[in-house]
Structure 1
Amino acid sequence: MSAPARCHEAHLNPKLSDQQSNIIEKAILTEGIPGVAVAIVSGGETISAQGYGYRNLNEHLPMTPETVTPICSLTKSMTGTAIMQLVEQGKIPLDEPVQTYLPKLMISDPTTTRKITPRVLLSHKSGMGRTGHQTAMWTEKV
């Protein structure tokens, strides 16, 4: 899941301020970040976007606002938000077993599997290990 940020309207400034750029450039140097794309969004509109550093260090290809990158762990906060919206709407309770909605879900111990609830998943306490999908993200063609 990823998408480029773009400034769609001509009157919008695609460049960040000098102060913003200095903060980002300092972070890149001190944290050893190869590259980053930054966007400022207000009212659902991208008002400024800029790339810093490189998307490919070996070939010195620059990072741009259009560079598509995996969002990785950011999906955790998106998933948490979506689940809590379902809770607020009364569509799912936090403490009902997840198998109610995903009957094929099974980890090594069936008793433990039945104890996994949305609350347990959101707090990262389910005991589920890594699934290996991280490697597939980089090798699988979609």
Structure 2
Amino acid sequence: MRAIIDRLQALSPAITNILSTSGTVGESIGVLNHGEVIYTKGFGYRDIDRRLPMNEETVVSLFSLTKAMAASAVSVLVSEGTTTFDTPLVEIIPDFRHHDPTIQSETTLRDLLTHRVGWAQYNAIWMQDQGRLYLDKNQSLITAATLPVTAGFREKFQYNN
């Protein structure tokens, strides 16, 4: 384990260079190994005006980066044979409900990942300023059930958070 941590620490100059080159103000890194935090490090600033450094306690809004994380997690489950991209969502989340019966019964992971369910783009209902959530996580399914449909099911890409 020590060798892994040493290798992670050796990346610090490269990460600092990437931040400088890209104009990125700050970044925090956390590495888990079998559920145990083995490395954390902050680079740059969480507040550049006040020169407050990034650290393992810094809360960062990831916004759309979580879509890639979700797609990766689903892909791992698919590769393990736990599910498929075409498994109906209601089989994975039995509490999923929608007022449109087609969306209710036929929406798959593939549909969600490719934004082709037909839901209206109501992105502002999820987030407030400073990355604060309007809704508790336990309200997400209930809210999704009420989203209006503004395109045909699987008709086209229609971005929605």
3-state DSSP class of the match of 2:11?
helix
Cα deviation, 1:88-113, whole Å, max 9, x if unaligned, reads: 446x87254x578533355xxx87x4
Name structure 2 gaps, 5 residues minimum.
137-161
Change (3 A) 1:127 1:84: farther
The separation in 1 between residues aligned to 2:107 and 2:135, in whole angstroms, is 32
Q: Structure 1 vs Structure 2: percent identity of aligned residues?
A: 26
1:139 is displaced (CA, Å) by 7.1
Q: TM-score, normalised by structure 1?
A: 0.60
Per the TM alignment, residue 29 of structure 1 is displaced from its structure 2 partner at its CA by: 0.8
* Aligned residue pair count: 124
Contact 1:15/1:49 (CA < 8 Å) preserved in 2?
no
In structure 2, the partner of 1:42 is 33
When structure 1 is superposed on structure 2, of 128-137 and 46-55 the one drifting more is 128-137
Q: Which structure ranks higher in relative contact order (CA pairs < 8 Å, sequence separation ≥ 6)?
A: 1
Letter in 2 for 1:135: Q
TM-score (norm 2): 0.54
Unaligned runs of 5+ in 1: 1-12
What RMSD, in angstroms, separates the aligned Cα atoms of the two structures? 3.9
Q: CA distance change for structure 1 residues 140 and 20 in 2, over 3 Å: closer, same or farther?
A: same
* Runs of 4+ off more than 6 Å: none
Higher share of residues assigned helix: 2
Shift of 1:14: 9.5
1:124 equivalenced with 2:115 (yes/no): yes
